[in-house]
Structure 1
Amino acid sequence: MDVGELLSKALSHKADKSSSKNPSIKRKSDAAYENGDYDKRRREEPKGITDEEREKILEMLDNEPETEALDETNLKKMLLNFEKRVYKNQEQRIKYPDLPEKFMDSEIEVNEIIQQMHVIATAPDLYHILVDLNTVQSLLQLLAHENTDVSIAVVDLIQELTDVDTLNESEEGATAVVDSLLEKQVVAILVQNLERLDENNKEEADGVHNTLSIIENVTEFRPECCTEAAQQGLMVWLLKRIKSKIPFDANKLYASEILAIILQNSDENRLLIGEYDGIDVLLQQLASYKRNDPSNKEELEYMENLFDSMCSCLMRTENRAKFLRGEGLQLMNLMLREKKLSRNSAIKVLNHAMSGPEGADNSQKFVDILGLRTIFPLFMKTPKQAKAGPSSEELEEHITSIVASMMKNCQATQRQRLVNKYTENDHEKVERLLELHFKYLDKVRTVDDQIEREKQRMKNRGEEIEDDDEFYIRRLEAGLFTLQLVDYIMLEICATGPSSVKQRVMQILNMRGGSIKSIRSIMREYAGNIGDAKDPEAKEQEQDRILQLVDKF
């Protein structure tokens, strides 16, 4: 038995041991156990290697000649050998196109040298040589090789070369190779290769996964390339992969993750996905979870990626209209009623759909579809945090923001229906509003005290306090934003609702030692910091409206 056979046996034994850590393999084992095949399988499992075989392996490894360390000279030799083998294979394929046996050996040699080139990933400081010798171009050309085994081997190599941890080891080398890949439109070439891979074949399915890994690596290193990547066919492929009827798998999860990344990093991509009917695709996929929960944690992550993608899309006004036409509000409202795992993320989507002046149509429609019946029970009692999605406090912020958006955007009958909600059941919603006011006022006072102590310490050390914006952001994150929304709703219903609403607000404030002055101060600060850089006129109108409400209060 030679060292190759012994090592192969050792590795297969190691793989069998490690498979117990792999969830998918474990599930198969459980199934076998249930089917009564467990004892049979135990008898058939390999027993590992003997002490004698282990000694032989160690002896042979000791006698193996030491490989030369990879330096510039050795790398250039390897790359020259690579180019020779590729050229030879191309030549034979052209010469004998219908005789595979004539070019098969040269194809194996190409595959072997590609495997050897994985060692380059251990020396990212030498990556510039790949660019200087035009090896990057040669690798990308091989992605279109007639034999998909070769293209998959190249994908595997590029994936390892662009691994983020490796790229971080040498900024100069990483910049050289990533910029070269992007310049040669690597994403467009990868997408063309994806189109011909058959995921029913395990090796090709792995090739798809590694391709998506390359795209993730490159976009993490160069976030600004997301727009260009989407335009090179990636967006179309991702949408097609997500809506395909293939059962849920790791590649579907990865495709949803990449989609969420490229939408988060690019406003142009949010517009592009709308042009490709991506809003409908996302709604169709999310509809699966209105009455059914994801079957495992991977599918739960997939669902969350779809919700995150939808939230990113709704940052564009054009997509809000598509969301409205695609009956997105009805779907989210149904999810709120069904109380499945999708509910909490549906709340987040509704907030994105209805916020700002651009959310006026969605706000009006939400009242029309009886959304008040589903959102106000959640306002009265915030849902608990689910296995995924927003935390309880984030949910409280989203729900309060939805109610505030409706107060700003609803007109006529819809607005009257909204205001009337606050008189129901002896003004219970007014009491809940004041409860939230005092809860978040305490949180803001706590963080204000911390900030004051920090400022005092900075003064004592003789440091200048320059960045007030940073402190303001901290206050917003600690609860000031939710407090501002709560107080805005309070001002609105006191100004436009029945007199009994304001009477109840004053009664509770007096009873709990609250202060009108404090609420006015919070709302003046809110008006002073409200902003819409795109539309200064709208910003000024909103500020005036809030200050008028403050004066009336």
Structure 2
Amino acid sequence: MALNKNILLLNTRQWGSRGLVGELVDESTVKKMILTFEKRSYKNQELRIKFPDNPEKFMEAELDLNDIIQEMHVIATIPELYHLLVELNAVHSLLGLLSHDNTDILNELTDIDTLHESEEGAEVLIDALLEGQVVALMVQNMERLDETVKEEADGVYNTLAVIENMAEFRPGLCTEAAQQGLMQWLLKRIKAKMPFDANKLYCSEILAILLQNNDKTRELLGEMDGIDVLLQQLSVFKRHNPATAEEQEMMENLFDALCSCLMLPANRDRFLRGEGLQLMNLMLREKKMSRVSALKVLDYGVIGPEGSDNCHKFVDILGLRTIFPLFMKTPKKMKKVGVSDKEHEEHVCSIIASMLRNLKGQQRSRLLSKFTENDCEKVDRLMELHFKYLEAVQLADKRIEGEKHDMVRRGEIIDDAMDDEFYLRRLDAGLFVLQLVCYIMVEICNAGVPQLQQRVHQILNLRGGSVKIVRHIMREYAENIGDGKSEEFKESEQKRIMELLENF
């Protein structure tokens, strides 16, 4: 199909015998097409109202409308003419097509690649669709569709595609979409007792998109008991692996959605009450595919001061027996499901660091006794990880220093943005895991158990390590605490880390 900006030669095969075959399509053709569509749409509506119980009376009008809709698919290849749809008030009629199961044309008009071809045309169309309450209409339409009928199931799929296209082009509309009934419909569809299919997979994908970096949608899901829905759906995978690659993708989408939700403190409590910790603990013990994501969810659930209740509960349900074998040895199976040793070790160390930060009383004693048992084998493993990641970071630092040297030689300025980029690269190379390992070292050395402090210092000396390096890593970590936290939290956390370092 040859497209030259506003002019397109229609391919006979694609557009069939009744439509514009072999004609040039330009602005005036599109105008004619839209006006014909408007007329036929109005006529069809009129006859349907007049003869609701006599389909024969509006059958011809229905066929005529269908023909012009087929012709209009070509507009989806010329986004720079989208403004005509708005100027000629065709958006209202396009939205009306939703009740005719004609969702595919909206899907094509909002195709993400097409939208990016002409940002201006796309903005105009999206604005008009939103003004027409497109999401609320699409949700109402999906609610009346019967997915046991193939055409209607396709209608649901196309509708979800329109929502995805719009959300990708304008992420800001996610909150509005969720509030216009979409969140409620998605949760209902995900928990529906229906066989797994492409629509359920798509729903899990849209749900994960809605929750990305969005506290309002996370709160909405929490208020709708969505945490329970996610946990119920995921519980299927505690003893069984997904049957297909598509089902695995859905499982991962639901885990991503859960991780997103746990970034909102109020949802941590809902997760605790919904026995989310027990489910993750079981998954970690069962050694199925879900184990990888369960570890990540656990990390999100216990992190920061808001994770304190979850930390205590995790110890109460004998979670230490689950997490420490994973700390001592990275399972070989992890690599099979595409997770690196670094990713696994990062989550495990982060969970242990969170527990050391949050646990009090008897639960804290139980955690510390894990480090002394079996002749301090956990401390030996901790020190092994320290030297492993220290070496990785030193290599990255060497590379970065070389790059900085070259930049200075070329007369380039290393500004704050460049420094931030270098810091992110160091974190990615292993600095983040190293910071967690050093934090655990410093915490256990301050625990009032002489045996632990002696062992840490003994191994540091034996392997040519240094207290100075650990202090430097922790100071750098303290300086970079932030990430949207309040200034008050930042200062108290920095002070706490500095106090730990004094006694290291």
Task: Note if 1:531 corresponds to 2:474.
Answer: no
What's 1:450 paired with?
399
Residue 316 (structure 2) pairs with residue 368 (structure 1): yes
CA deviation vs aligned residue, 1:195-248 (integer Å, no higher than 9, x gap): 011110011111111110000000000001000000010000000010001010
Aligned to 1:540: 491
Tell whether the 8 Å contact from 2:126 to 2:166 is kept in structure 1 after alignment.
Answer: yes
- Per-residue deviation, residues 66-109 of structure 1 (Å, max 9, x unmatched): 62221010011111111111121122223323322111111111
* TM-score normalised by structure 2 residue count: 0.94
Name the structure 2 match of 1:127: 82
The counterpart of 1:161, out of the listed 109, 113, 131, is 109
1:352 Cα deviation (Å)?
Answer: 0.2
- Shift in Å, 1:534: 3.9
Q: Distance in 2 between matches of 1:325 and 1:166?
A: 45
- Partners of 1:528 and 1:266 in 2: CA distance: 27
Query: Number of aligned pairs?
Result: 486
CA distance in 2, matches of 1:475, 1:534: 22
Question: Is the contact made by 1:315 and 1:352 (CA closer than 8 Å) also made in structure 2?
Answer: yes
Show CA shifts across 1:19-72 (max 9, x none).
Answer: xxxxxxxxxxxxxxxxxxxxxxxxxxxxxxxxxxxxxx99xx9xx996222101
1:321 is matched with which residue: 269, 273, 292? 269
2 CA distance for matches of 1:65 and 1:204? 28
Bigger radius of gyration among the two: 1
Q: Which residue of 2 aligns with 1:342?
A: 290
The residue number in structure 2 matching 1:45 is none
Residues 382, 392 of structure 1: 8 Å contact kept: yes
RMSD of aligned Cα (Å):
1.6
| Counterpart-to-counterpart distance in 1, 2:227 and 2:399 | 44
Number of the residue aligned with 2:441: 490
Give the AA of the match of 2:276: G
Aligned counterpart for 2:70 among listed residues 115, 118, 121: 115
| Identity within the alignment, % | 66
Distance in 2 (alpha carbons) for counterparts of 1:387 and 1:184: 48
| 1: CA distance, partners of 2:179 / 2:297 | 26
Partner of residue 103 from structure 1, selected from 39, 55, 58: 58
Equivalent in the alignment of 1:86: 41
1:493: Cα distance to partner?
0.6
Answer yes or no: is 1:236 the counterpart of 2:184. yes
Deviations 1:353-397 (A, max 9, x none): 000000000001101110000000000012342554743311110
Amino acid at match of 1:95: K
Match in the other structure for 1:204: 152
- After TM superposition, give the deviation of residue 532 of structure 1 in Å: 5.7
Residue in 1 aligned with 2:4? none
Q: How does 1:385-464 map to 2 (within 5 A)?
A: 385=334, 388=337, 390-464=339-413
Instruction: Encode CA deviations 1:129-179: one digit per residue, 9 max, x unaligned.
Output: 0111011111112323xxxxxx222x1000011111111111111111112
Q: Aligned partners of 2:402, 2:48: CA distance in 1, in Å?
A: 76
Using a 3 Å threshold, how does the CA distance of structure 1 residues 509 and 283 change in structure 2: closer, same or farther?
Answer: same
In structure 1, the gaps of 5 or more residues are 1-56, 145-150
- 8 Å contact 1:248–1:299 — kept in the other structure? yes
1:386–1:114: structure 2 CA closer, same or farther, 3 Å change rule?
farther
Partners of 1:80 and 1:288 in 2: how far apart? 52
2-side partners of 1:92 and 1:420: how far apart? 80
- Classify the secondary structure of the residue corresponding to 1:366: helix
One-letter amino acid of the counterpart of residue 471, structure 1: F
> What is the letter of the counterpart of residue 222 of structure 2?
G
Letter in 1 for 2:365: Q
8 A contact 2:75–2:109 mirrored in 1? yes
Q: Does 1:306 align with 2:261?
A: no
Q: Using a 3 Å threshold, how does the CA distance of structure 1 residues 65 and 372 change in structure 2: closer, same or farther?
A: closer
Structure 2's unaligned 5+ residue stretches are 1-11
Distance across 1 between alignment mates of 2:293 and 2:340: 10
Q: Which amino acid aligns with 2:383?
A: L
Question: Is the 2:204–2:254 contact (alpha carbons within 8 Å) kept by the matching residues of 1?
Answer: yes
